[in-house]
């Protein structure tokens, strides 16, 4: 994926409206990655800097370039109200009236709610994974038992020998022979080319 990403960064290097970058989440960029919720590597995030979403599409250059062309660029925001619908404009107008402290407090409250929701969802998913994992193990063991039982039944019945004897009694067939050609030539003299 790295070569495709590097090419995409090059394609957008001079853009005044779109940023395509990479961040080293194990080094200097760790705090940024933590802030935007990077959980695995490589991760691709897209959107406005304050509202990044996970990219789940293809990782080749064609998929990345198509996605970027269709989804990246100017979006609704305080500096581009012409791209906003009426509902978004009302939110922006409302929040423009707040001072920075009010915005920070509201954002912190929402971040806490989101974290609580995310933690609850992760806990619920984890509690569901344990029984599923146990069931998968049981299914695997039952499939192994079935396979062993079938093999034992075949062996005790001589199943493999039945098939071998049947095969030995079948007429030998030339794999290159086409029986349809025989039917066409009935009653006619065969000519060689």
CB 38 within 8 A of CB 25: yes
Count: domains in the chain: 2
- Domain-located, residue 48: yes
SS3 state at 54: strand
What is the CA 157 to chain-centroid distance, rounded? 47
pLDDT at 191: 47
- Domain-located, residue 91: no
pLDDT at 96: 93
SS3 state at 56: coil
Q: Of the residues 35, 55, 75, which one is the last residue of a structural domain?
A: 75
Q: Of the residues 55, 75, 95, which one is the last residue of a structural domain?
A: 75
Q: Would you give the DSSP letter of residue 137?
A: H
Could you tell me the residue range of the domain that residue 138 belongs to? 130-164
- Domain-located, residue 51: yes
- Domain-located, residue 158: yes
| Regions of the chain short of the pLDDT cut 50 | 186-188, 190-191, 193
- Domain-located, residue 140: yes
User: Tens digit of pLDDT for each residue in 102-121?
Assistant: 999 999 999 899 889 988 98
- Domain-located, residue 157: yes
pLDDT at 146: 87
- Domain-located, residue 159: yes
pLDDT at 89: 93
Residues paired with 48 in a beta bridge: 51
pLDDT at 103: 92
pLDDT at 134: 82
Q: Of the residues 35, 51, 75, which one is the last residue of a structural domain?
A: 75
């Amino acid at each position: 994926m790295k070569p495709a990403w590097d090419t995409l960064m090059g394609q957008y290097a001079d853009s005044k409206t779109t940023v395509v970058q990479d961040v080293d989440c194990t080094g200097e960029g760790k705090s940024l990655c933590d802030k935007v919720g990077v959980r695995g590597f490589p991760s691709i995030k897209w959107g406005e800097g304050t509202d990044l979403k996970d990219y789940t599409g293809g990782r080749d250059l064609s998929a990345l370039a198509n996605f970027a062309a269709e989804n990246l660029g100017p979006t609704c925001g305080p500096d581009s109200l012409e791209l906003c619908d009426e509902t978004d404009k009302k939110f922006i107008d409302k929040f423009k009236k707040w001072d920075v402290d009010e915005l920070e407090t509201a954002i912190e409250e929402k971040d806490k709610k989101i974290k609580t929701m995310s933690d609850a969802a992760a806990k619920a998913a984890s509690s569901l994974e344990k029984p599923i994992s146990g069931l998968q193990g049981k299914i695997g063991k039952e499939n192994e038992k079935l396979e062993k039982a079938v093999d034992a039944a075949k062996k005790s019945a001589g199943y493999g020998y039945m098939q071998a004897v049947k095969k030995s009694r079948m007429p030998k067939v030339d794999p290159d022979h086409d029986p349809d050609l025989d039917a066409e030539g009935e009653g006619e003299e065969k000519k060689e080319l």
